[in-house]
Structure formats: structure tokens, C-alpha cells
Copies of this chain bind each other. A is one copy, B any other.
Amino acid sequence: MARMKGEQTTTERKPQRVTMETVGKIAGVSQVTVSRALSDPSKVSAKTLARIQDAIEATGFVPNGVAGALASNKSKLITALVPSLTNIVYSSMIQSFGRRMRDAGYQLLLSETGLDPREEDATIAAHLSRRPDAILLTGVHHSAQARRMVLAAGIPVVEIWEYSDTPIDMCVGFRHADTGHAAAEFAHRKGYARAATISAGDERARRRKAAFVDRLQALRPGAVPQIDFDTHATLARGREGLSQLLDGHGFDGGVIFCSSDILANGVLVEAQARGLRVPQDIAVIGFGDQDGAAHLEPPLTTIRVDREAFGRAAADILLDRFKTGEAAVPKVDLGFELIARGSA
């Protein structure tokens, strides 16, 4: 279609942005009054308010939060960093955290940091440039630079999913090593002759596993074969782990502590495929009590952590900090629970 220089077709023309100025002009008031009508309607007379609301409807005005954030130095934005978006452990925490924050008028800027801790620093910097009102970090191990940056930002920092006596600011979590200890004590009480571990490639999973091995060997000496993957946990890795244990490590039965339920699920499947009885031949302890763990055959013995509660607690201490200026309980240890079901 031919068109003349400088002319613009309808589809190409950028819609003229509607500002408070525009709305005010239509309603016959100044821009400031529109601002007030939106932020505190009680400060504006009823009839003015009505006219402003009409003008907003008519124009389809959407306030420019960027300008507002710049002027007020409040963004109503919370920044969150998680290792993985697809890992149910993190996504369910973020889900409950996000819901509560959203109810309080905040939105979530979310990024994945992956398994490599060094990736985190750049992401933190990028996030801070958005001038969030707070930042949520996963775990309590961060680089010196990361700590410096978030501290310099002068905003509340919540570390989630791991407890520390010395968080950057606030934290909500549990002690990962303790879960390994608890699993080891359970296995020992149950009298399993042999034990092994299967672990995914994240640092906290490794710590849980190491704690299991340490405690078990303290209770009763004996080798504990360990399969360590350097990837995320998947069901296939669980199957593979059991196979390696059985075929390559001379493991001929006993209890297996897995760093996550999905790995444990894989062990169950592989055991079934090989005609091994659970828990008589192979016993399995998982971690996470994820969806379906209780409904597997046999039901999975696992360590339960209330991820939703972590998210809610994180939101609560944050909102409290916003309100009071200081958090009453900045360090929260929500603990865990070993759930004995049929698999061990």
C-alpha cells in the first residue's frame, strides 16, 4: 500500500499515552488532584472524585508506576532470586510468598540463578537497579560482593529456604544438615545393615547427604556408597542411581537416602522394574514430601518441609518490617519432620 512521506497508518501510530495531566484536563482539575484521587480518595471531594473516575474510564488511563516510583522512591516491587523456576521446592515457596505480597500490593520480579553461585552477583545487580522495596534470596551463602550490594541498597533482605544464625538481614528456613542427621538416626534405629546415598548437584542437597553419611558412620562404622549427580534431580537420575549402586558399587540392598523425592521416586520405579521388594530389599528415604510422595507404592518415607509456610513467613516478616521499620523476629527456623511411611 502506497503512503505518503510522514503519513502514518492507524496500525502504526503509537497510542498517545494518557497521563494524569490528560485525565485532569478532562475532569477539569489539576494533575495533582488526579494523583490524590488515586492515592488517597478521601482528600478529594466526592464530585471531583466522580469526574476524575469518569475521565479515567473514558481514557483508559493506567498510572505510570515508573514515574511514581522515581518520585516517591517506593517501587512496590519485590525482587526474588531462585535457583530454578521449575523445581517445585522453589516454585511453591515463591507461589505462597508472591500471593501474600500481591495481596499487600507488591509485585514480583523473579530471576533464576541456576546451580552456579557466581551467576548470582550479576543478577542481584540487575535487580537492584529496579530499586525494589526488598529482595528475597535463596539460601544463606552469598558472595561478599552480593552481601555488600544488597546491604548498600538499604532495603530489607530475606534469605529463605535455609536457616542461619547470622543472616544478612532476615531469614526463614531450616537447618539442612539436621535433616541428614535425622535420616541417619532413623535408618540406624530401623536397623538397616547397609546404606547408600543418591544426591543431585546442588550445594544444599550435598550438605544434607554429607550429614547423613557423617551421622550414620558415627553411629556404626561401615562404608556408604554415594552417587552424586552434578545436575538437577530427575526421575531418570533416580533410576540410574539405583542401577549404579546395584551394578557398580556392590550395593546389594539396604537403605538409600535421596536428596529429593523425585530421585527417590526413580529408585522406587527401578526397584519395581527389577522385581526388588521395597522396603525389604531396598529401602528408600526421600526429601521434600512432594506431591504424590504419600501416594506412591509403597508410600515414600521422606523429610517434610512446609515450603508454603516458608513463603508465607517470609512475606509476613517483610510486611511487618515495612510497617514497623524493624522486624521483631528476623530469624525464623521452621524446622522439618521425618515422615515414616512404607518405603523405609
Contact = CB atoms under 8 A, between A and B. Distances in A.
A112 B85 contact: no
Interface stretch (A67-75, A209-217, A249-257): A67-75
A234 B92 CA distance: 14
A86 B91 contact: yes
Interface stretch (A134-142, A175-183, A264-272, A327-335): A264-272
How many copies of the shown chain assemble into the complex?
Answer: 2
A120 to B, nearest CB: 13
A304 interface: no
A248 interface: no
A270 B294 CA distance: 12
Contacts of A152: 15, 60, 62
A127 interface: yes
Given A62-B129, A62-B152, 4 more contacts: A66-B130, A108-B110, A110-B110, A239-B295
Given A152-B60, A272-B297, A86 B88 contact: yes
Contact of A292 (B77, B127, B148, B235): B235
A236 interface: yes
Interface stretch (A2-10, A21-29, A95-103): A95-103
A291 B62 contact: no
A154 to B, nearest CB: 5
Contacts of A294: 236
20 contacts: A14-B154, A15-B152, A15-B153, A15-B154, A62-B125, A62-B149, A64-B70, A66-B70, A66-B130, A67-B70, A86-B92, A86-B95, A88-B88, A99-B112, A110-B110, A234-B291, A235-B292, A235-B295, A262-B291, A265-B292
A80 B120 CA distance: 22
A133 to B, nearest CB: 12
A327 to B, nearest CB: 13
A60 B98 contact: no
Nearest to A308: B86
A236 B295 contact: yes
